[in-house]
Amino acid sequence: MGGAGGSATDYGTVTLVAGGTLVGTGLLATVWYLRRRNRPYRL
């Protein structure tokens, strides 16, 4: 019962770079959000 994603086997350089960019962006956004949330408010 696999979907179309299970049949894709062509992992070119562009696909790997795009995936790595998405993962890296997600990690940076998570770190930024958590640091921003834990910082005390200074006026």
This prediction's pTM? 0.60
In the block, tokens 């910082």 appear at 39
What Cα–Cα distance (Å) separates residue 16 from each residue in 11, 21, 26, 37?
A: 7, 8, 15, 32
Question: Is the pLDDT at 18 greater than 80, yes or no?
Answer: yes
- The confidence score (pLDDT) of residue 37 equals 73
Query: On the CB side of 18, how many CA atoms lie within 13 Å of its CA?
Result: 5
In the block, tokens 């995936």 appear at 19
- The confidence score (pLDDT) of residue 17 equals 92
- The confidence score (pLDDT) of residue 22 equals 96
Ramachandran angles phi, psi of 22, nearest 5°: -65, -45
